[in-house]
């Protein structure tokens, strides 16, 4: 499941290969993603040059002149470079062929992904404009988290997964960051003070940065087409470890469903 570190790894891998390149052809094999791929995407993109590849939350932004190709990988999407003559396989829904001979391919078995075109500033697109601060930027800090949670009655774990509060923190990293900050996922967000939010902001950034570093180590394989073999999953401290001993205190980790998502935590360390 691509979380923010995988999306950022994808961005870093693709950027040097597509920036400055011109789109020669667009092949859409299946338009039925979470929203239909625009019918006129090929007409719009062909002949355009990619100026930059950016990321906002988990959205990839291919800046191309006065518009932007916005791509979201959902939970099973992969975007990578294939050989120009590589035969498409099942779930390979879209190819972007560039005039430099490179082909960027989207594979998304569950089709929760998204491909759309936006003319004008993509940050003002309806899906992007109300997203909270980037977790790797200084905009994510104790002041913001504290202020933005005063009126919330819900648990901190659910708040962390609200994209309007913070961009791009998914279930795995919400679990991991809360463990590292020693905060109980059930704790109401409004009851957390400035100091603990400072710690949490630091741990969120730390966890995501480490994961990006680990994803970076498999960057070559990924872009080469071997799929996403990032190594950070070996470093999860609580995620998917219900019943296992806490690395910190040895107490058995607990698992439960919170806001329709699996939560894992240490009942002794996280208060």
Catalytic residues: 2-3, 58, 261
Binding residue (CB under 7 A) for DNA from 164, 220, 231, 235: 164
**The tokens 């019918």 sit on which residue?**
39
In the complex, minimum distance from the CB of residue 30 to DNA, in angstroms, rounded to a whole number: 9
Binding residue (CB under 7 A) for DNA from 5, 13, 135, 170: 170
Contact flag: residue 127 with DNA (CB under 7 A): yes
Alpha carbons 13 and 221: distance in angstroms, whole number:
10
In the complex, minimum distance from the CB of residue 101 to DNA, in angstroms, rounded to a whole number: 29
Binding residue (CB under 7 A) for DNA from 47, 240, 245, 256: 240
CB 192 within 8 A of CB 152: no
Binding residue (CB under 7 A) for DNA from 122, 168, 215, 230: 168
- For residue 271, give both structure tokens: 């208060």
By beta-carbon proximity to DNA, the closer residue of 90 and 234 is 90
Alpha carbons 60 and 119: distance in angstroms, whole number:
15
Contact flag: residue 34 with DNA (CB under 7 A): yes
Pairing of strands 59-64, 103-107: unpaired
Alpha carbons 70 and 104: distance in angstroms, whole number:
14
Residues 173-212 touching DNA, rule: CB under 7 A, are 189
Among 74, 102, 81, 86, CA closest to 13: 81
**The tokens 């309806």 sit on which residue?**
126
By beta-carbon proximity to DNA, the closer residue of 153 and 234 is 153
Alpha carbons 162 and 154: distance in angstroms, whole number:
11
Binding residue (CB under 7 A) for DNA from 9, 10, 68, 158: 158
Alpha carbons 69 and 59: distance in angstroms, whole number:
10
| Binding region for DNA (CB under 7 A) | 1, 3, 32, 34, 57-58, 72, 74-76, 90-91, 109-112, 126-127, 148, 151-154, 158-159, 162-164, 168, 170-172, 189, 240, 257, 259-262
């Amino acid at each position: 499941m691509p979380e923010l570190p995988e999306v950022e790894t994808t961005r870093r891998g693709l950027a040097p290969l597509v920036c400055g390149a011109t789109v020669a052809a667009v092949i859409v094999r299946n338009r039925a993603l979470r929203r239909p791929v625009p019918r006129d995407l090929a007409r719009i993109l062909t002949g355009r040059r990619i100026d930059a590849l950016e990321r906002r939350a988990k959205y990839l932004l291919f800046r191309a002149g006065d518009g932007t190709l916005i791509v979201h990988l959902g939970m099973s999407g992969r975007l990578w470079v294939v050989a120009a003559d590589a035969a498409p396989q099942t779930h390979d829904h879209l190819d972007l062929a560039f005039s430099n001979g490179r082909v960027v391919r989207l594979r998304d078995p569950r089709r929760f992904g998204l491909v759309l075109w936006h003319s004008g500033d993509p940050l003002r697109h309806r899906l992007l404009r109300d997203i909270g601060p980037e977790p790797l930027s200084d905009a994510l800090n104790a002041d913001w988290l504290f202020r933005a949670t005063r009126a919330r009655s819900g648990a901190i774990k659910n708040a962390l997964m609200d994209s309007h509060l913070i961009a791009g923190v998914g279930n795995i990293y919400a679990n991991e960051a809360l463990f590292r900050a020693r905060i109980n996922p059930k704790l109401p967000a409004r009851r957390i003070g400035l100091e603990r939010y400072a710690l949490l902001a630091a741990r969120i950034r730390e966890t995501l940065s480490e994961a990006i570093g680990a994803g970076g180590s498999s960057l070559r394989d990924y872009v080469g087409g071997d799929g996403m073999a990032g190594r950070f999953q070996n470093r999860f401290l609580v995620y998917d470890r219900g019943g296992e001993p806490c690395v910190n205190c040895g107490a058995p980790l607990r698992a439960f469903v919170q806001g329709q998502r699996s939560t894992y935590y240490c009942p002794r360390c996280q208060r």
